[in-house]
Structure 1
Amino acid sequence: MTGPVLRPITAGVVCALVGFTSSFVVILTGLAAVGATASQAASGLLAVSVTMGAGSILLAAWTRIPITVAWSTPGAALLAATGMVSGGWPAAVGAFLLTGVLIVLTGLISRLGALISAIPGAIAQAMLAGILFQLCLGPVTGLARDPLAVAPVVIVWLLALRFWPRWASPLAFCAAAVVIAVHLVRTGTSIRTDQFLPQISLTAPHLTFGAVIGIALPLYLVTMASQNVPGVAVMKSLGYQVPWRRSMLVTGAGTVLGAPAGGHAINLAAISAALAAGPEAGPDRSRRWIASVTSGLVVIGLGLAAGAFGQLVVLAPAGVIAAVAGLALMSTLAGSLTAALAAPENHLPAVLTFVTAASGVAVAGVSAAFWALVVGLVVRAVLGRPKENLPAGATR
């Protein structure tokens, strides 16, 4: 009797640990790229941890469905690829706030959700792959720069991928932590323990044209197309119907609330959703919502240690953190490329979308991700829709 009772709780703990440790480095990297200081990035990590944890608890308890809320990892990768825009960090915070408003409006206006769903899957996935590409070069450039520091991380990740694939990214981070500890001892670097305490750094939002077009709109599109829409599909495959409006209102409001503290965006979990909603959460489907509540509580607890995680990033040898971030995104990049190139008739629009996003070139202050989407849609329109229709029920 004890096993089935504890299984939702155990699944929730695993969901939180895997989700947090797999990609928190990507969050810190993305926030720093758009102008956040170390303390502001740690505040942003705390903000998204608390809002996504609270979102999971609220939605799961409200609906009695194992809905899990996550931070937007593709969105953070987008920030890392975009870099600082006109207006600096305050403008980025304004873009985060606007992203939250757009997500709320998507919940209130069904037409917005329909427009997002109308974006061809091949184009959306190619744009995401292009965004991820530069970050996924991290392990390669890191090995060239400091092989002694980066090689242990890559080796641990590869071995874990073979024997414990779910824990590959968390174990890579653990290996990085050991490398950082050795580095600190060898160099005699002191650690500021006062930075370990949870700290909120509030920033007044400021909107600029570059932030709206270069961050807010791409962040909204990536979050919706790469997280929210697939998140609903994953839950449907597990037999759960996600209440779209309530989910968008909760995640949108959470994004708005977290923005002044540096939180970029929260959304429905996609891949990690299966950990809380699948069979591992127990045979009794009516109790799996407990896994999502547990996950939310654990994530909030982990978020309180954001300062300590931020210190690890700051003190790491050059190339180590970039390698961890790149390894964490490898499977996502592989999945995006596979989806983008699945249909031969979409190859050219998808490849042009990919190379535009991967270029990282901003035109007129607008990020490459936005132009990638424009290029992909224009090329697809010029070439015309594929002559052969997909089978009923299939998605592009």
Structure 2
Amino acid sequence: MHQDHSPVVAGVVAAVVGFSSSFVVVLAGLVAVGATPAQAASGLLALCVAQGLGMAWLAVRHRTPLSLAWSTPGAALLVSTGAVAGGWSAAVGAFVATAALIALTGLLPALGDLVARIPVSLARAMLAGVLLPICLEPVLGVAATPLLVGPVVLAWLLGQRLFPRWAVPASLVVALVVVLVETAGEVPVGAAVPTLAWTTPSWSLPALVGIALPLYVVTMASQNVPGVAVMAGNGYPVPWRETMTVTGLGTALVAPLGGHAVNLAAITAAMVAGPEGGPDRDERWRGAVSAAVTYLVLAAGAAGLTALVTAAPDGVVQSAAGLALLGTLAASLSDALADAHERVAAVTCLVVAASGVTVLGVGAAFWALVAGLVVRAVLRTGGVSASAPGTSPTATSGPARSAGRHRSR
């Protein structure tokens, strides 16, 4: 019998697209909160291994094309947060706390319900505010160094026109070529050797409030719940409790090695679970396995890519990261402003998040949620719900109940 290789190909493509579209954001986020290049490379490597192993376990155990990923919105949040009290070890402690919250979400439905009570418009507005400064980097880069950044933007634009799925990877390839040309072999060969760097976690209140809580909210609202919705849309139930346990445990294991968060994939999940994963729905789980193997292979290149990114001229890699996040920014703005009754509170949340302010040692993302909730409470009238039903998966169901509700669809 002819063996259909569609699931395997779809899995490889999903992993390559997912990795190449966002690894620079992950590196930028880790460095922003205090990681050295070696620690950031360790984090990228650990994240690839953790999500690969977790994906393989869930796919084989449940025979479902369930995909995992790192939290790209979470990495963007780290970029906007910057250094916190206690430095890198405190950031690692915040990653551990985020891991505990993710695992508890699967075990305690009340925690998932609490997250679901955060208005979708505010969660998405906070993310949009976090992304906005990063997405401005291509503009600033073209203005400052057009000969270096211009080719990156041009590659992205042509990619959007000719091969949209590969537009971001194409721009990243061009960015890396620019780096290679500009550095002219200055990157030492030894820097490409994969290594892991351990950091003993420490805890500080500003890091827990400014990193752990926003990272948890962003990861749940922008990755886990949409991931469940994508799977449900393709007819696959998600084992919610086990998935949250696996991703929470994975995050806890990679945190001391520099990884920030492991979660359900959202966009690339459709590439494995949808029609591209092959005509036989019962065989699409093999695509998740091939994606897992691909991530394990890609992990070997983490150190070399980090060395190239570290050596890059100012603006080149940052511009590539901004281009990679434009689609997420557009989707976040659409959700944040969808309900006219929510717009003032959402815009308040957005501008506070985009401001990058730090108050009492706590970053802007936390204060953005606080400001948005306060404005929303003041403007809310007559007990009429300000939430627009149906604008997002979180508008109608809490994460802890998502698997059950999607299963019935």
Query: Residue in 2 aligned with 1:183?
Result: 182
Shift, 1:389, TM fit: 8.1
Shift, 1:191, TM fit: 2.2
Shift, 1:392, TM fit: 6.9
Distance in 2 (alpha carbons) for counterparts of 1:359 and 1:184: 33
Query: Residue in 1 aligned with 2:306?
Result: 310
Corresponding position: 1:234 with 2:230: yes
Q: Is the 8 A contact 2:187 2:308 kept in 1?
A: no
Query: Residue in 2 aligned with 1:110?
Result: 109
Listed one character per residue, the Cα deviations across residues 85-117 of structure 1 (whole Å, up to 9, x for unaligned) are 001000011111111011111111011111112
Residue 215 of structure 1 aligns to which amino acid in structure 2? Answer: I
Query: Residue in 2 aligned with 1:384?
Result: 380
- Equivalent position to 1:208, from 204, 207, 219: 204
Structure 1, 296-305 or 78-87: larger mean CA deviation: 296-305
Instruction: Mark the CA change 1:177 to 1:124 in structure 2 (over 3 Å): closer, same or farther.
Output: same
Query: Residue in 2 aligned with 1:129?
Result: 128
Listed one character per residue, the Cα deviations across residues 12-45 of structure 1 (whole Å, up to 9, x for unaligned) are 0000000000000000000000000010000010
Query: Residue in 2 aligned with 1:58?
Result: 57
Query: Residue in 1 aligned with 2:405?
Result: none
Query: Residue in 1 aligned with 2:354?
Result: 358
Query: Residue in 1 aligned with 2:190?
Result: 194
Q: Which runs of 5+ in 1 are unaligned?
A: none
Instruction: Mark the CA change 1:57 to 1:391 in structure 2 (over 3 Å): closer, same or farther.
Output: same
Q: Which runs of 5+ in 2 are unaligned?
A: 396-409
Query: Residue in 2 aligned with 1:272?
Result: 268
Residue 297 of structure 2 aligns to which amino acid in structure 1? Answer: G
Query: Residue in 2 aligned with 1:344?
Result: 340
Residue 208 of structure 1 aligns to which amino acid in structure 2? Answer: S
Corresponding position: 1:218 with 2:214: yes
Give the match's secondary structure for 2:69: strand
Q: Is the 8 A contact 2:341 2:386 kept in 1?
A: no
Give the match's secondary structure for 1:206: coil
- Equivalent position to 2:282, from 286, 289, 306: 286
Give the match's secondary structure for 2:325: helix
Give the match's secondary structure for 1:272: helix
What is the alpha-carbon root mean square deviation over aligned residues?
Answer: 1.5
Q: Is the 8 A contact 1:341 1:350 kept in 2?
A: yes
Residue 270 of structure 2 aligns to which amino acid in structure 1? Answer: A
Query: Residue in 1 aligned with 2:74?
Result: 75
Residue 104 of structure 2 aligns to which amino acid in structure 1? Answer: L
Give the match's secondary structure for 2:200: coil
Structure 1, 110-119 or 154-163: larger mean CA deviation: 110-119
- Equivalent position to 1:245, from 238, 241, 246: 241
Instruction: Mark the CA change 1:374 to 1:390 in structure 2 (over 3 Å): closer, same or farther.
Output: closer
Distance in 1 (alpha carbons) for counterparts of 2:281 and 2:315: 44
Distance in 2 (alpha carbons) for counterparts of 1:394 and 1:230: 12
Q: Is the 8 A contact 1:117 1:229 kept in 2?
A: no
Residue 195 of structure 2 aligns to which amino acid in structure 1? Answer: Q
Give the match's secondary structure for 2:310: helix
Matched ranges for 1:118-157 at <5 A = 118-157=117-156
Distance in 2 (alpha carbons) for counterparts of 1:264 and 1:390: 30
Corresponding position: 1:164 with 2:160: no
Shift, 1:150, TM fit: 0.3
Residue 205 of structure 1 aligns to which amino acid in structure 2? Answer: P
Instruction: Mark the CA change 1:95 to 1:391 in structure 2 (over 3 Å): closer, same or farther.
Output: closer
Query: Residue in 1 aligned with 2:407?
Result: none
Distance in 2 (alpha carbons) for counterparts of 1:393 and 1:256: 33
Distance in 2 (alpha carbons) for counterparts of 1:190 and 1:180: 10
Between Structure 1 and Structure 2, how many residues are aligned? Answer: 392
Query: Residue in 2 aligned with 1:94?
Result: 93
Give the match's secondary structure for 1:241: coil
Instruction: Mark the CA change 1:20 to 1:394 in structure 2 (over 3 Å): closer, same or farther.
Output: closer
Distance in 2 (alpha carbons) for counterparts of 1:117 and 1:337: 19
Moved over 6 A (4+): 388-392
Distance in 2 (alpha carbons) for counterparts of 1:123 and 1:318: 32
TM-score of the superposition, structure 1-length normalised? Answer: 0.96
Shift, 1:256, TM fit: 0.1
Shift, 1:381, TM fit: 1.6
Shift, 1:391, TM fit: 8.3
Residue 113 of structure 1 aligns to which amino acid in structure 2? Answer: G
Shift, 1:390, TM fit: 7.7
Distance in 2 (alpha carbons) for counterparts of 1:142 and 1:297: 36
Distance in 1 (alpha carbons) for counterparts of 2:39 and 2:234: 38
Give the match's secondary structure for 1:267: strand
